[in-house]
Chains A and B, each alone.
Chain A
Amino acid sequence: MELLERLQSRQKQDADLFLHRMLLARQPVTLTGYKSLIDLPHTMMLLQQQAQNAVAEDRPLFALASGIGEYMNDADEQAVIAAISEGNLVVFPDGSDMTFKLTPVNRTLSRSIEAPTTENVLRGSISAFIEDIDTNLGILKKQFISDKLRIQSYWVGTDQRRRAIILYTEGKASSKFNHDLIQKIESNLDKDIPNLQALAHVLGFSKWVLAPGFNTTELPQNAAWALGQGKTVLFLDRFPFAIIMPSVIMDMFAAENDHNFLPIFMFIIRFLRIIGVLSNMLMPGLYVALVSVNPDVLRIELALSIAGSREGVPYPAVFETLLLLVILELTLESSVRLPKTIGPTITMVGGIILGQAVVQAQLVSNVLIIILAATTIASFAVVGFNNAVIIRLPKYLILILSAMYGVLGLFVGMMLVCASLASASVFGIPYLYKWKAREHSDG
């Protein structure tokens, strides 16, 4: 059989591929699949059982395909390889052209459900999504029990096959948005999606817009909330997050978990987050503007005390600020990837030793240390880790404009950031859109 021979020659390059001959109810067959994905002894045992049952009931052997597998019509090498990469077992009976694929017993390759790592839950379910897409789907369906939930599954990519699942709630989701999204994905099924950038590219998002087109979350309750609000949730296999689309500005400030507090407390928390984002963007710029361009705006006592703390600092305020901001970014970046045991060391060295030394060596002023510490803290007041990453950027634009034009530059920079946010939209839904679930204020 030609196909089998070709598979055999393939086996020489791919040690993971197995071709196993066995008797199934006295019928010789060849099984093929990937060792790393299939638990072969268990699968064979089950197959034997099925075959015996079939013989006992006088059914033809291949009827078992209709139970736990399906016939592959006109199976060529490509189709067989695609089927086994998806984790199926392919069966070739001897002396027959028929090929069928079965769902085998899989090896357990994913971790169990654990607590989230990038998002913390104060009050609410602690299970987080894991890499396995079916488990994620299961967790979400347990969290969001509804007969209106619609699920569509796709295989995307050619070099790297990957499963993608789209979920939305019938009746709540904007049908135009879903239609556009699904069409976009269906027309790009041959493109690989190894990461979120590739996803953004497939969905046609602009590279230059600051606003995120989608949000990611590890928490099933957030994904369920998004579904309830009529948003669309996308799962990618081997990606332990739910991707929520479209993203709107309020997602930066509002989380599902807020509803577990008193309403007044919820509004205060959200207001605080808005203040956090604003101060993160504006404080370094304001410092530079007030120190170097418009010192007359400050009350004289304050101006003098800031000038006093800058005494001996040899370069302009903008360099001082940039220097420390870069060190802070480095600290953040290095502590993200460090093992948990070394993280605190970096914090101590970066925060205490460096901070203290840098002031004593008169490289930067005391006031700046305070401002930058507050800035860094404020940048993590937003909801969602990807939002926290994104808002780190605009402050540099504002900082440079402030260094050139003072307070005017600060405000103009803020205007440019606003314009950039205002220009972002996902499939016709602008980023500055007040989402339909009308129970929230839009700040």
Chain B
Amino acid sequence: MDKSLQVTVMYLLTHVGLIFFMYPTEIIESVPIGHWSPILLGFLFHVTLLGIFTKGLSYFKSQNLIDIFLGAGKAFAVILLVPVTFYFLMEIVIMVRAYSEIIKMIFLENTPIWAIIALLLAVTTMISSLGIETVFRTGLLIAVLFLPIFLLVLSISFQNADWRYVFPLMDERAVSLSYVLSRPFLLSLFAFAGGFTFLGFIQPYIPYKRRSVMGASALLLPLFLISVYVPLLTFGQNTVFELQFPFITAIDTVNITWLMFDRVTMFFMITLICFVLLFFSLVMWKATLLIRRALPFIRPIPAKLLLALALFILCLQIPDFKTVEQLLWWNTFLRLYVTIAIPFITLILGIRHHRKGAVFS
């Protein structure tokens, strides 16, 4: 049975969860004028890699990344996949820590940080231990329930926009792409890079059509643009540069007179956090899949519980948000490896597999 809808929804939700917190900050830091340039560049990067990755995967009929890499040799697979596993675990630790910090900062000031981390990890572990199909179906249900809130807030977020702030449209820096190797831009790539690797792991369980995911990626571009341009149009470049979470602050300025709630921001953010939790569950599932492939004697539930405990302890070791940012930066190199090397290797293996198949037939 084709489950393209579930995959597309999941692909969108995971990205939506990642876009609106740190991404606008990094983009606004990377260029002072012409923000469309890094956004478009990042998006092109994303679409290209997505295309390469799914093309590579499409050469193999219902095989996941691990099987594909194992097909090319055991040592090869181990060398290539160990960093991927490590990256997934790092990603959960960093993101859980970062998001719990954001949650504490914005709306749970009196709750201890360990309690928030425990909640996030417990939910992640529970959902991922119910199986990958459950994760995807939950995604669909969550989308039906929460996307209306998300879209409502998104559509009213332009309330205080001053369109003159769009100008100036470009300067030399934006056109010459000289920001490409700058730290903020490389950091901003996490919003493009995090989400799509799951496509390589779900294949035998959840079949999907490549076309529908590629089509859905077009829906992301307006979201990337909105996440940067809404705060920019609300506050202007000079002010927005000072803000830690520009988009959230921009939404906070919105005032809906007919609603009984004063801070729609909170509902918006929590919706996003739920999407992120779904993303965590997915990453957790991928990580356990990889770990259990290497160490098949561990049973899935104990494996997940042990992993969750380890991640919890690791999360507690990170003292503050500064360290989180530092870790996020270190993780950038691993991320670039996972998002650039893995798709290309998959494509190469795919083409080789295809040719071999052609010779045999």
Answer whether residue A326 sits at the interface, using C-beta atoms and an 8 A cutoff: no
Check B277 against A297 for contact (C-beta < 8 Å).
no
Check A293 against B274 for contact (C-beta < 8 Å).
no
Given contacts A296-B263, A299-B262, A407-B267, contact A414 B145 (CB under 8 A): yes
Which residues from chain A contact B103 at a C-beta distance below 8 Å? 408
Check B274 against A411 for contact (C-beta < 8 Å).
yes
Chain B min CB distance to A133 (Å): 36
Answer whether residue A300 sits at the interface, using C-beta atoms and an 8 A cutoff: yes
Answer whether residue B348 sits at the interface, using C-beta atoms and an 8 A cutoff: no
Which residues from chain B contact A298 at a C-beta distance below 8 Å? 260-262
Check B270 against A407 for contact (C-beta < 8 Å).
yes
A-facing mask of B124-161, CB < 8 A → 1, else 0?
00110011011101101110111000000000000000
Check A408 against B107 for contact (C-beta < 8 Å).
yes
**Closest residue on chain B to residue A425 by CB atoms:** B133
Given contacts A299-B261, A443-B144, contact A407 B266 (CB under 8 A): yes
Check B127 against A415 for contact (C-beta < 8 Å).
yes
Answer whether residue B44 sits at the interface, using C-beta atoms and an 8 A cutoff: no
A-facing mask of B46-75, CB < 8 A → 1, else 0?
000000000000000000000000000000
Check A432 against B261 for contact (C-beta < 8 Å).
no
CB within 8 Å of A: which B99-133 residues: 103, 107-108, 111, 115-116, 119, 123, 126-127, 130-131, 133
A299 to B277 Cα, complex, angstroms: 28
Which residues from chain A contact B126 at a C-beta distance below 8 Å? 416, 419
Max chain B Cβ within 10 angstroms of own Cβ: one of A300, A411, A414, A443: A411
A29 to B111 Cα, complex, angstroms: 85
A302 to B258 Cα, complex, angstroms: 13
Check A415 against B138 for contact (C-beta < 8 Å).
yes
Answer whether residue B287 sits at the interface, using C-beta atoms and an 8 A cutoff: no
Which residues from chain B contact A294 at a C-beta distance below 8 Å? 107, 266
Check A423 against B130 for contact (C-beta < 8 Å).
yes
**Closest residue on chain A to residue B116 by CB atoms:** A405
Answer whether residue B8 sits at the interface, using C-beta atoms and an 8 A cutoff: no
> Which single member of B116, B123, B266 contacts A415 (CB below 8 Å)?
B123
Check B271 against A411 for contact (C-beta < 8 Å).
yes
Check B141 against A302 for contact (C-beta < 8 Å).
no
Answer whether residue B273 sits at the interface, using C-beta atoms and an 8 A cutoff: yes
Answer whether residue A406 sits at the interface, using C-beta atoms and an 8 A cutoff: yes
Chain B min CB distance to A284 (Å): 17
Chain B min CB distance to A14 (Å): 51
Check A432 against B137 for contact (C-beta < 8 Å).
yes
Which residues from chain A contact B278 at a C-beta distance below 8 Å? 415
Chain A min CB distance to B59 (Å): 29
**Closest residue on chain A to residue B149 by CB atoms:** A411
Which residues from chain B contact A300 at a C-beta distance below 8 Å? 262
Which residues from chain B contact A405 at a C-beta distance below 8 Å? 108, 111, 115-116, 119
B-facing mask of A129-168, CB < 8 A → 1, else 0?
0000000000000000000000000000000000000000
Chain B min CB distance to A125 (Å): 34
Which residues from chain B contact A419 at a C-beta distance below 8 Å? 126-127, 130, 134-135, 138
Answer whether residue A412 sits at the interface, using C-beta atoms and an 8 A cutoff: yes
Which residues from chain B contact A302 at a C-beta distance below 8 Å? 260
Which residues from chain A contact B119 at a C-beta distance below 8 Å? 404-405, 408-409, 412
Answer whether residue A418 sits at the interface, using C-beta atoms and an 8 A cutoff: yes
A152 to B268 Cα, complex, angstroms: 53
A422 to B273 Cα, complex, angstroms: 19
> Which single member of A406, A418, A430, A432 contacts B145 (CB below 8 Å)?
A418
Given contacts A405-B108, A406-B108, A408-B108, contact A418 B263 (CB under 8 A): no
Check B123 against A416 for contact (C-beta < 8 Å).
yes
Chain B min CB distance to A422 (Å): 4
A416 to B140 Cα, complex, angstroms: 13
Answer whether residue A332 sits at the interface, using C-beta atoms and an 8 A cutoff: no
Check B262 against A423 for contact (C-beta < 8 Å).
no
**Closest residue on chain B to residue A409 by CB atoms:** B119
Which residues from chain B contact A272 at a C-beta distance below 8 Å? none
CB within 8 Å of A: which B245-299 residues: 259-263, 266-267, 270-271, 273-274, 277-278
**Closest residue on chain B to residue A300 by CB atoms:** B262
Check B270 against A418 for contact (C-beta < 8 Å).
no
Answer whether residue A373 sits at the interface, using C-beta atoms and an 8 A cutoff: no
B-facing mask of A395-438, CB < 8 A → 1, else 0?
00000000011111111101110110111000000101000000
A348 to B138 Cα, complex, angstroms: 41
Which residues from chain A contact B267 at a C-beta distance below 8 Å? 297, 407
A-B contact pairs, 14 of them (CB 8 A): A293-B108, A294-B107, A296-B263, A298-B262, A299-B261, A404-B111, A407-B267, A408-B119, A409-B119, A412-B274, A419-B138, A422-B141, A423-B134, A423-B137
Which A residues are within 8 Å of any B CB, using their own CB? 278, 293-294, 296-300, 302, 404-412, 414-416, 418-419, 421-423, 430, 432, 443
Q: What would 7 more interface pairs be, CB under 8 Å, given A408-B270, A415-B142, A422-B137?
A: A294-B107, A297-B263, A407-B266, A411-B274, A415-B278, A418-B145, A422-B138
